[in-house]
A and B are shown apart, each in its own frame.
Chain A
Amino acid sequence: MTDRSRLSRRDLIKLSACGAFGSSMSRWLPALANEVSKSPDRRRSVILLWMTGGPPQTDTFDMKPGHENGGQFKPIDTSVPGIQICEHLPQVAKLMQYCAPIRSMSTKEGDHTRATYLLRTGNLPQGPIDYPTLGSLFSKELGQENSDLPNFVAVAPYTQFSPAAYGPGFLGPKFAPLVVGDANRVVVNTPGTNYDQSLAVKNLALPQGINVERADARLSLLGDLESDFSSQRPGLNSESHQSAYAAAVRMMRSEAVKAFNLDDEDAKLRDAYGRNQFGQACLLARRLVERGVPFVEVSLNGVGNNQTFAWDTHAQNFTSVKSLLGVLDPAWATLMTDLKDRGLLDSTMIVWMGEFGRTPKINPQMGRDHFPNAWSSVLCGGGIKGGQVVGKTSDDGMKVDDRPVSVQDLFATMCKGLGLDSMKQNVSNVGRPIRLADPTAKPITEIVG
């Protein structure tokens, strides 16, 4: 990690010496000086709990009791005096010392597609630059080359809002996620559904009658074909094909794939996570992190029988949100205690967010609509000083009163919490180098140490 950041700094200086960044030198010299690397040598991991559709802040982490916008749910006390959250998050409430709710997210983009892209890449879709999704961005920094398991695993992502927001963008297919589970299907998180099967990696074993020696011989024949093809017809397609095959073979042959055997876990612990896809996916996330996977993303896309799609509760908000929280709360809380029990919580950052929040005002269908102006996300675990709330919204929840946090601020905060240099650059598809977070971003220093 330290080597890596030193190297990148040298690269940056070399680049600027060539004049590529002459004008911006003054801007980031002080930034370099400030960054007395406190980055711990331990690698950190991230688990992203992605709330497809945009969860309502007023019914989760920014309650408005006594105001008509507050809705039906009541606030409850948490393990941290003075912080209250929704009554339907009782288990998470007991672990508030690890969590830092940010109540002042302010992002200005209320369209699912564009907001999904914004929150997941840090940027609005603009022109020809293909920004990578944050899992690709951070796993590239945190991961190891040629590891047995992919550095980025995504469980059941619902990519339809913005497929580009789920891909590796200009970082290339090498940094694409291993997608586990049924993508793009509205997941029914009800008990009794066959969630185990949807969390397995298919076709991992060699076909019957093919031993490793034979598989090697076949791969070597394939290798000849590939090098001919890509030397004559170079391009992304065959590059991606080859990198996927290499990664697949590495994974097939590793011990680490046992991570996917959830049956190895204690039945009680599995119960505690919740016997539904999201709960078991959180358990899988822990098992993957345990084996060194630096970025795991788990989506909560819906709960059975709800009339609404995922968190997009334009109608019947309270019925839907209650059942979603019923799945979210045990899974998230158990994830934190389980990581804590294994000494992994200090090195695992958990990020909870969707693409925006929802309108404080309740519409005639008892729903809440898209609301990017003032909403909540939560950072917890590794690298985060929990037990404190960031920012404040007005009494009616309509605007941010204190400490607005932009997407770039959030990305910069994550970088800092993960011990990453947010000034690190990647070269984009248009040749322009792009930093992990924008130089103007202000990390929320009070919650990262």
Chain B
Amino acid sequence: MAQTARSHVFGTKGSRFDVLFPRTRSLSWALLISLVLIFVDDVMGDEVQNLADLIDRRIEARWKSDGVTPAPRAGDAEFLRRVSLHVAGSIPPVADARQFLRDESLDQRRRLVDQLLESPHYITNFSNLWTRVMMPESATDLQGQAQRPGFQAWLRQHLGNNTHYDTMVHELLTTPLAGDRSMNAALQNTGAVSPIAFFTTKQIKPENLAAATSRMFLGIRIECAQCHNHPYDSWKQEQFWGYAAFFAGIERTTRNEDAIGQVKEVFDRRELTIPDHETVVQATYLDGTQPQWRTRISSRKTLADWMTAKQNPYFAKAVVNRLWGHFFGVGIVDPIDDFGGTNKPSHPELLDELAADFAAHDFDLKYLIRGITASQTYQRTSRKTHDSQNEPQQFARMAVQGLTGEQLFDSIAVAVGHLESFQQQQPFQFNQNGARGEFLELFAPDNNSPTERQTSILQALALMNGQFTSAATNLDQSSTLTAVVEFPWMKTPDRINALYLAALTRKPRPDELERLTKYVDTGGPLTNQKQALADVFWALLNSSEFLFNH
């Protein structure tokens, strides 16, 4: 966008110059161009930078009024590791890190994000994120597991094309459902590219679909009102069922209560009876308004139109807050999908402005990601430099965040130089090997916020003793370690440097380097320098610094 704005101005510069600077002829061209560039950036705007500035303005205003001293800007290494994990889902390979750390151009951080967004890793990472959001059942529910590949393929296709968020959600909500939706049919066709698993994992029941869609896409936890009026929230039972009625047309033609079989859809059914009540409720939006019904348009489509409209008061806010939470570990509203009555945003104006800006940019997810990561707020160090930085929702220093199983596994894979076998480069393939699957299960994130991730004893045991880290720190099996250990002409400090760069994306501090050089040179318990380097690598891979994003 910024580029088009700029070229537009350059294309017409002759005439504009004359208007704006009538006496330009006495000025040098170079000075003129730089003036114009400043003007363009200021007035026409680098839109990503504007978004970043908007964030910083609101966040900094609060620091001032609350007496918060923010942490300084993160160094390049810290930023590189953080943004690689957030955008691409793993730490950067050593070669990329070396290249980035050598780059001294002013826009290197912005360019890095652009590169990451165009890499297949972005697709993989965000399809994992959206799968967790839209199909949490895929971790536990058999049908969900079976249909996960087809669902992820659908997501990956859209993320690869950068389909805008409203379009994606609209397509999801209106996907055709009629036909055989049984478990058997699903199992026979597990790879079909389709978001249908979203519906089958919710048993295609109106109440489940209502609860899921309102929580995921609108940030409203209305499900408590399913059985009774919510005691703490303003949602009423009739509102819940009125919203659920948009899905009332979906009908199972087979009788069995628990299993899904043949499904058909009655397009103009727009009401349902509240179970165990006599009350019949009409499909009604959550803001209380009634739809303008159109003939031959399904109630699901009518709902999808309302939900993804720019004027929808919840839709943009909910997704902006979700992505904010992804990058900062804490939402502006937190928990991120609970915009309930008592759960107030920490920065209400910022949330409104972000949502409006995101909608104005047609729900372009990459634009939002570029803006957030370009902000100074995102680029603060995670080091604590002042006591006023303790409140996470001040965003005065970057929060230390837990990794998902995928991020952790893929980061270990990158650190040990094990790339190919994990399909990172091939986001349209789903060949998850057993080791990865097991790992993902053990490190499935708990539902705590990423800033409060708990390590279990079982996870600790797996990282210390498990096959995967054992191989990573085994001289016969680990590519990184073998390369570092066997490469001739390197001195011990160089080898330690290389291990640090591979695992932590930074060089050791002088005190660390001294301590570890001594350890390696004396060879550790086995008085064997190579094995001692393996010990160092083991410690790095088991450290908080490696296991968290910060």
Tell me the A residues contacting B by CB distance below 8 Å.
110-111, 114, 126-127, 150, 160, 163-164, 167-168, 173, 176, 178-179, 184-185, 201-208, 211, 213-214, 216-218, 221-222, 224-226, 228-230, 232-238, 240-245, 247-249, 251-252, 307-308, 315, 365, 370
The answer to whether residues A221 and B400 also contact, given A213-B525, A214-B535 and a CB cut-off of 8 A, is: no
Among the listed B448, B456, B470, which residue makes an inter-chain contact with A207, where contact means beta carbons less than 8 Å apart? B470
Binds A, one of B117-125, B407-415, B429-437, B541-549: B541-549
B543 touches A225 (CB 8 A): yes
B466 contacts across to A, CB distance below 8 A: 202-203
A240 touches B446 (CB 8 A): no
Tell me if B383 is interfacial: C-beta within 8 Å of chain A: yes
B539 contacts across to A, CB distance below 8 A: 218, 221-222, 224-225
The answer to whether residues A179 and B458 also contact, given A222-B542, A232-B384, A238-B400 and a CB cut-off of 8 A, is: yes
* 21 A/B residue pairs, CB under 8 Å, sorted by A: A127-B342, A163-B447, A173-B455, A185-B140, A203-B465, A207-B467, A213-B525, A218-B538, A221-B519, A222-B538, A233-B384, A237-B452, A238-B548, A240-B455, A241-B455, A241-B547, A241-B548, A243-B455, A245-B455, A251-B457, A307-B258
A207 touches B447 (CB 8 A): no
Q: How far is the CA of A77 from the CA of B94 in the complex (A)?
A: 73
A217 touches B535 (CB 8 A): yes
Among the listed B257, B447, B460, B536, which residue makes an inter-chain contact with A221, where contact means beta carbons less than 8 Å apart? B536
Among the listed A160, A204, A221, A233, which residue makes an inter-chain contact with B140, where contact means beta carbons less than 8 Å apart? A160
A208-B470, A241-B460, A252-B461 given; name 8 further pairs at CB < 8 Å: A163-B448, A167-B448, A202-B458, A216-B525, A221-B516, A233-B382, A245-B455, A248-B461
- CB closest chain-B residue, reference A168: B454
Q: How far is the CA of A184 from the CA of B141 in the complex (A)?
A: 10
The answer to whether residues A226 and B544 also contact, given A232-B383, A233-B383 and a CB cut-off of 8 A, is: yes
A201 touches B460 (CB 8 A): no
B543 touches A203 (CB 8 A): no
Q: How far is the CA of A307 from the CA of B399 in the complex (A)?
A: 44
B515 contacts across to A, CB distance below 8 A: 224
Among the listed B227, B401, B470, which residue makes an inter-chain contact with A237, where contact means beta carbons less than 8 Å apart? B401
Tell me if B524 is interfacial: C-beta within 8 Å of chain A: yes
B447 touches A164 (CB 8 A): yes
A167 touches B525 (CB 8 A): no
Q: How far is the CA of A261 from the CA of B416 in the complex (A)?
A: 34
B 436-479 binary contact with A (CB < 8 Å = 1; else 0): 00000000001110011111111111101111001000000000
B342 contacts across to A, CB distance below 8 A: 127
Q: How far is the CA of A222 from the CA of B519 in the complex (A)?
A: 13
Q: How far is the CA of A195 from the CA of B530 in the complex (A)?
A: 42
Q: Which 5 A-B pairs have the closest CB atoms?
A: A221-B539, A163-B447, A207-B470, A244-B455, A238-B544
Q: How far is the CA of A40 from the CA of B74 in the complex (A)?
A: 57
Among the listed B224, B470, B540, B547, which residue makes an inter-chain contact with A111, where contact means beta carbons less than 8 Å apart? B224
B 497-536 binary contact with A (CB < 8 Å = 1; else 0): 0000000000000001001100100001110000100011
The answer to whether residues A248 and B543 also contact, given A207-B470, A237-B548, A238-B548 and a CB cut-off of 8 A, is: no
B 365-389 binary contact with A (CB < 8 Å = 1; else 0): 0000000000000000011100000
- CB closest chain-A residue, reference B140: A184
Tell me if B550 is interfacial: C-beta within 8 Å of chain A: yes
The answer to whether residues A229 and B543 also contact, given A207-B470, A237-B402, A307-B258 and a CB cut-off of 8 A, is: yes
A248 touches B457 (CB 8 A): yes
A243 contacts across to B, CB distance below 8 A: 455
B452 contacts across to A, CB distance below 8 A: 236-237
The answer to whether residues A176 and B456 also contact, given A229-B543, A233-B382 and a CB cut-off of 8 A, is: yes
Interface centre among A114, A173, A206, A370 (most CB of B within 10 A): A173
B447 touches A244 (CB 8 A): no
Q: How far is the CA of A307 from the CA of B183 in the complex (A)?
A: 14
Among the listed A218, A224, A235, A315, which residue makes an inter-chain contact with B451, where contact means beta carbons less than 8 Å apart? A235
Tell me if B281 is interfacial: C-beta within 8 Å of chain A: no
A237 touches B453 (CB 8 A): yes
B 395-431 binary contact with A (CB < 8 Å = 1; else 0): 0000111100000000000000000000000000000
B453 to chain A, nearest CB (A): 5
A160 to chain B, nearest CB (A): 6
- CB closest chain-A residue, reference B466: A203
Tell me if B139 is interfacial: C-beta within 8 Å of chain A: yes
- CB closest chain-A residue, reference B382: A233
A201 touches B458 (CB 8 A): yes
A245 touches B525 (CB 8 A): no
B 44-83 binary contact with A (CB < 8 Å = 1; else 0): 0000000000000000000000000000000000000000
The answer to whether residues A111 and B227 also contact, given A176-B454, A203-B464, A248-B457 and a CB cut-off of 8 A, is: yes
Q: How far is the CA of A143 from the CA of B455 in the complex (A)?
A: 20
A178 touches B465 (CB 8 A): no
Interface centre among A111, A225, A237, A245 (most CB of B within 10 A): A237
Q: How far is the CA of A110 from the CA of B539 in the complex (A)?
A: 48
B550 touches A202 (CB 8 A): no
A252 contacts across to B, CB distance below 8 A: 461, 465
B258 touches A315 (CB 8 A): yes
B465 touches A110 (CB 8 A): no
Among the listed A222, A233, A249, which residue makes an inter-chain contact with B400, where contact means beta carbons less than 8 Å apart? A233
- CB closest chain-B residue, reference A221: B539
Q: How far is the CA of A251 from the CA of B456 in the complex (A)?
A: 13
B525 contacts across to A, CB distance below 8 A: 211, 213-214, 216-217
Q: How far is the CA of A111 from the CA of B501 in the complex (A)?
A: 50
B352 to chain A, nearest CB (A): 23
A167 contacts across to B, CB distance below 8 A: 446, 448, 454
B226 to chain A, nearest CB (A): 8
A150 touches B543 (CB 8 A): no
The answer to whether residues A178 and B227 also contact, given A203-B466, A207-B465 and a CB cut-off of 8 A, is: no
B451 touches A203 (CB 8 A): no
A176 contacts across to B, CB distance below 8 A: 454, 456
B274 to chain A, nearest CB (A): 14
B544 touches A230 (CB 8 A): yes
The answer to whether residues A206 and B524 also contact, given A229-B543, A232-B383, A234-B384 and a CB cut-off of 8 A, is: no
A205 touches B465 (CB 8 A): yes
